[in-house]
């Protein structure tokens, strides 16, 4: 069985189809995980959702910020942005089933020793912490008051994790870390305005994965979300958002069974979006 991690699709279903052809993906033999942001900005959000759903248990996607935005817009929690392109999902005759499928997706996973998230992991969290905290949010999203939670989910505060946080503040920090994080301070205070490359952090901040003493530093972590970062391959770090929707590539990483074994497969994507989006 081959295991593949795939970067942000963002509604680029044509590229996703060509990538699956390029890796000769077989649902009976292989497994793939999209690292969040399956939908939005590209022209085929509905098709991308249907493609993954059709693959059944052989395919999974994490929740990214655009996926959560779809949930919020679908239930009137947020107004659509001018750049949103998931109207095909909202207009689908089975939209409620599609929305229900999306809200059942995880915020974090552990696969073959890799911790998988959409955006980042706060430096105070171990991999065990990350999975437990993700589960807290997943339980709420899969519960009866999930729409009420969406109303309380948005905001930049608190910007720093504390284990004593409770209620909406606690869940908001967890969501922001997993779906929006790029830069933070050495003590884990998050900054959300800057979307530049890692080499140009805001004053007093650094990429989350460079924080000294990060508790997941000894665990392989794979993430997407950061198109201006591009593909990064280090022994214990893998970034896979290669800007498909911005005219870059859609990238899959085939994860080998041995430590460090990995192969990259890419397909080019033809989009007209301006680069640097979230």
pLDDT for 139-149, tens place per residue? Answer: 999 999 999 99
Angle at 53 between CA 179 and CA 85, to 5 degrees: 55
Beta strands per DSSP E along the chain: 3-6, 31-34, 59-61, 108-111, 114-117, 183-184, 190-191, 206-207, 221-223, 232-234, 237-239, 249-255, 262-268
Task: Tell me what pLDDT residue 255 has.
Answer: 94
Residue 27 lies in a domain: yes
Residues of the chain below pLDDT 50: 274-276
pLDDT for res 271: 65
Q: Give the integer Cα–Cα distance in Å for 110 and 130.
A: 10
Assigned domain for 277 exists: no
Residue 278, in any domain of the structure: no
Q: What is the model's pTM?
A: 0.95
Number of domains in the chain: 1
Q: Summarize pLDDT for 161-182 with one digit per residue, the tens.
A: 999 999 999 999 999 999 999 9
List the domain range (segments joined by +) for residue 230: 3-268
CATH number of the domain encompassing residue 153? 3.60.21.10
Asked if residue 50 is part of any domain, the answer here is: yes
Task: Answer whether residue 274 is part of any domain.
Answer: no
| Other CB atoms within 10 A of residue 25 CB | 19
- Does residue 189 lie within any of the structural domains? yes
Q: Are 266 and 18 in contact (CB under 8 A)?
A: no
The 10s digit of each residue's pLDDT in 18-28 is 999 999 999 99
Q: Is residue 83 part of a domain?
A: yes
Does a structural domain hold residue 160?
Answer: yes
pLDDT at 146: 98
Per-residue confidence (pLDDT) for residue 270, from 0 to 100: 78
Sign, Cα dihedral of 60, 66, 70, 76: positive
């Amino acid at each position: 069985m081959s295991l593949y991690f795939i970067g942000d699709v963002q509604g680029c279903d044509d590229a996703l189809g060509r990538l699956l052809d390029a890796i000769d993906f077989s649902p009976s033999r292989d497994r793939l995980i999209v690292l969040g942001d399956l939908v939005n900005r590209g022209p085929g959000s509905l098709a991308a959702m249907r493609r993954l759903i059709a693959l059944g248990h052989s395919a999974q996607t994490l929740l990214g910020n655009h996926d959560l935005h779809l949930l919020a817009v679908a239930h009137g929690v947020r107004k659509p942005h001018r750049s949103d392109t998931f109207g095909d999902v909202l207009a689908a005759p089975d939209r409620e089933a599609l929305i229900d499928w999306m809200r059942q997706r995880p915020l974090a996973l552990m696969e073959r020793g890799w911790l998988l998230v959409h955006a980042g992991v706060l430096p105070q969290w171990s991999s065990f912490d990350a999975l437990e905290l993700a589960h807290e949010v997943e339980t709420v999203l899969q519960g009866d008051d999930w729409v009420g939670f969406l109303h309380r989910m948005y905001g930049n505060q608190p910007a720093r994790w504390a284990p004593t946080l409770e209620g909406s503040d606690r869940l908001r920090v967890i969501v922001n870390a997993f779906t929006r994080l790029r830069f933070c301070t050495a003590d884990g205070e998050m900054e959300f305005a800057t979307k530049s490359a890692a080499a140009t952090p805001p004053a007093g901040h650094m990429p989350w994965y460079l924080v000294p003493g990060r508790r997941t530093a000894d665990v392989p972590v794979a993430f997407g979300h950061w198109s201006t970062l591009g593909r990064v391959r280090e022994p214990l770090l893998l970034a896979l958002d290669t800007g498909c929707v911005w005219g870059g590539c859609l990238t899959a990483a085939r994860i080998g069974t041995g430590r460090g074994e990995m192969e990259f497969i890419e397909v080019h994507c033809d989009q007209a979006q301006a680069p640097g989006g979230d």
